[in-house]
Amino acid sequence: MSFTLHGLSVSDGIAIGRALLMSHATLEVSHLTVGPRMVEKEIARFDQAVEAVKQELATIKESTGHAPAELAAFIDIHAMFLEDPELVEKPREIIRARRCNAEWALVQQMEQLVKQFEAFDDPYLRERKFDVRQVVERVIKELLGHPGRAVMKAGKGLKEEMLIVVAHDLSPADVISFKEHRFASFITDVGGATSHTAILARSLAIPSVVGLENARALIRDDEMLIVDGLRGVVIVDPDERVLEEYRLRKNQIELEETKLKRLKNAKSQTIDGIDVNLYANIELPVDVPEALADGAEGVGLFRTEFLFLDRGDMPDEQEQFEAYKKVVKGMGGRPVTIRTFDLGNDKDLHVDASIRVQTNPALGRRAIRLSLAEPQMFQTQLRAILRASRFGPVKLLIPMLAHAHEIDQTMAALEQAKSSLRGEKIVFDENIEVGGMIEIPAAALAIGLFMRRLDFLSIGTNDLIQYTLAIDRSDEQVAALYDPLHPAVLMLLAHTITSAEKADIPVSVCGEMAGDPKLTRLFLGMGLRTFSMHPSQILKVKNRILKADVSELAPAVRRILRLEEPGKLREALEKLNS
């Protein structure tokens, strides 16, 4: 019987194939009491299991071969968890205090950690709870005498490219273990847009739907599936009419993707000869090859905080320098914009959920506010960025600016870092450009304050929308109200872009809106000439740019910006894109 499951789309496209169910170890373990003389032996058994998993992860990482670089990074994250006292020391304390078996102690501590991660507002951090579960699962398997990855069970005679992996969740170690396979798709019960399964799917450019809740329980081995990555839908046991319809759509999508690849080396220019810069947003040095493969002309946003979120201490200057240098050299002379740590909110390096102050962290001491409040930390990062600037064109980007004095203090801190490097006779770019993120409505409205002090601007649409509409994107109860096309949001965007253009100050958009092809013509009509986005969106946006005529778009966009009714505004946007 045919039925449909709905989840979260994390990678576009259509896949048609047979279900391949993945079986995983259960985390439901027995609670056993051990004798006083057996406590230390139980702790030793736990230590041996942890060490065995460390070795297993190290071996898997060495065998990554041609697997996407993101997977190696996730292996590192899992290895880091095995060094975390919260996951390694606490179970030992539980074993001693309660005289219990290692499996039960580990699961009890895991549940506490999962609760802490679930309390975070930031979606990236919230989904690290899945990494905790997966690491614990591997240790449990070792304790129970069933080491190794998840087991694949599928019918005979199926070609690998026709298989759709169905799992409750997938760990990066599991995926690397069968990297030689060419699966058509991944679908999972859990996960979100920033889960490792989602990142894997995007890096491999395969359709994927996550957060299906009960797919693993409802789907049977070898059952025919259609995965619609665009709509976030999985159709189980479709009839022949539906299959034929999706086969036709799949062929059309593949034809379009082939055409897009031909655009990689095409000059990004509109019909009427206006050049447009297309840059990539990256989070780790391993993202550079993907950015180049998709034709990025530079890095418009290097989110440096993602380098260090899964560790318990602040990296020193040398470690930061090596990471920044790797990106700058990897981009081969193309510009790299490095944003200083956007820490705070729920992206702290030292977070104890049990003692968090119950105020709104999004409006607290975060981003540049935190950096200025921690001058030693800020100096370490500024020196590392300056040192990397000798290896290629580097720009410095300051997040969450709202006041002129924040820029003045930043400039003073930068001069201090420069002075210290000069004293040590270390070479750097003396004329490094400094820009600011426009992501607070006050900054957009008082844009003149910032243009007089900065070399360039970058609009962070994600936070700008959130702050303008008073909508917490991570709150499911109000997430539907998050609207990039709200008239107030469009007015702030247009005001910022137009003001910068008049003052001859370079301005870019680096939020999610920049990578949405449906908004490309709208931005071009506003006057935007620099877009920065996830690498996978670059060719789609370039395709829109090559077919656009700004001389026609500009007057049409001016009319759209005068509209206040949401329905009419969307109708006008559809007409603009038709």
Q: Could you tell me what percent of the chain has a pLDDT over 70?
A: 83
Cβ–Cβ under 8 Å, residues 479 and 470: no
Please tell me the predicted confidence (pLDDT) of residue 404. 95
Please tell me the predicted confidence (pLDDT) of residue 356. 36
Please tell me the predicted confidence (pLDDT) of residue 308. 67
Paired tokens of 196: 């490792």
Whose CA is closest to 456, among 335, 345, 353, 539? 335
- The answer on pLDDT for 177 being more than 80 is no
CATH 3.30.460.10 fits 3-21+152-259, yes or no: no
Please tell me the predicted confidence (pLDDT) of residue 210. 86
- The answer on pLDDT for 155 being more than 80 is no
Q: Could you tell me what percent of the chain has a pLDDT over 90?
A: 55
What's the CATH architecture for 265-548? Answer: Alpha-Beta Barrel (3.20)
In angstroms, rounded to a whole number, what is the distance separating the alpha carbons of residues 177 and 179?
Answer: 6
Mean per-residue pLDDT for 516-525?
A: 96
Please tell me the predicted confidence (pLDDT) of residue 257. 82
Tokens 């190794």 correspond to 148
Whose CA is closest to 176, among 160, 193, 197, 156? 197
Partners of 235 in the β-ladder: 4, 226
Mean per-residue pLDDT for 126-138?
A: 80
Q: Which of the two residues, 361 and 229, has the higher pLDDT score?
A: 229
Please tell me the predicted confidence (pLDDT) of residue 200. 60
- The answer on pLDDT for 351 being more than 50 is no
- The answer on pLDDT for 500 being more than 50 is yes
- The answer on pLDDT for 357 being more than 90 is no
What pLDDT, in 10s, does the model give residues 4-13?
999 888 778 8
Paired tokens of 498: 């137009």
Phi, psi (5° rounding) for residue 370? -70, -45
Mean per-residue pLDDT for 362-366?
A: 78
Please tell me the predicted confidence (pLDDT) of residue 27. 58
Q: Which candidate in 78, 168, 486, 510 is catalytic? A: 510
196 is catalytic: yes
E strands, 372-505, are: 394-398, 433-438, 456-459
- The answer on pLDDT for 563 being more than 60 is yes
Please tell me the predicted confidence (pLDDT) of residue 59. 80
Please tell me the predicted confidence (pLDDT) of residue 189. 85
Eight-class DSSP state of 491 = H
Mean per-residue pLDDT for 453-473?
A: 91
Mean per-residue pLDDT for 490-506?
A: 97
Q: Which candidate in 168, 196, 486, 534 is catalytic? A: 196
SS3 275: strand
- The answer on pLDDT for 493 being more than 70 is yes
In angstroms, rounded to a whole number, what is the distance separating the alpha carbons of residues 118 and 133?
Answer: 12
100 is catalytic: no
Cβ–Cβ under 8 Å, residues 15 and 208: no
Please tell me the predicted confidence (pLDDT) of residue 510. 94
CA 91 to chain centre: 31
Please tell me the chain's helix, strand, coil percentages from 3-state DSSP, rounded to the nearest 5.
50, 15, 35
Per-domain residue ranges of the chain? 3-21+152-259, 36-143, 265-548
- The answer on pLDDT for 310 being more than 70 is no
What pLDDT, in 10s, does the model give residues 74-95?
677 888 889 889 899 999 999 9
Whose CA is closest to 45, among 142, 146, 134? 142
Cβ–Cβ under 8 Å, residues 393 and 334: yes
Mean per-residue pLDDT for 297-311?
A: 81
User: Which pTM value belongs to this model?
Assistant: 0.68
- The answer on pLDDT for 307 being more than 80 is no
Q: Which of 46-60, 152-166, 266-280 has the lowest mean pLDDT?
A: 152-166
Phi, psi (5° rounding) for residue 433? -80, 145
- The answer on pLDDT for 149 being more than 70 is no
- The answer on pLDDT for 67 being more than 70 is no
- The answer on pLDDT for 176 being more than 60 is no
Phi, psi (5° rounding) for residue 459? -90, 120
Please tell me the predicted confidence (pLDDT) of residue 220. 85
- Cβ partners under 8 Å of residue 226, min gap 6: 14, 15, 16, 233, 234, 235, 238, 242, 243, 246
- The answer on pLDDT for 488 being more than 90 is yes
Helix axes 317-330, 375-388, angle to 10 degrees: 30
In angstroms, rounded to a whole number, what is the distance separating the alpha carbons of residues 65 and 11?
Answer: 23
Please tell me the predicted confidence (pLDDT) of residue 64. 54
Tell me the Cα Rg of the chain.
Answer: 25
Q: Which of 149-158, 409-418, 547-556, 565-574 has the lowest mean pLDDT?
A: 149-158
Q: Which CATH number fits domain 36-143: 3.40.50.10490, 3.90.1150.10, 1.10.274.10, 3.40.50.2300?
A: 1.10.274.10
Average pLDDT, the chain: 85
Please tell me the predicted confidence (pLDDT) of residue 203. 59
Please tell me the predicted confidence (pLDDT) of residue 125. 73
Q: Which of 78-87, 114-123, 304-313, 378-387 has the lowest mean pLDDT?
A: 304-313
- The answer on pLDDT for 384 being more than 80 is yes
In angstroms, rounded to a whole number, what is the distance separating the alpha carbons of residues 550 and 225?
Answer: 43
Please tell me the predicted confidence (pLDDT) of residue 544. 96
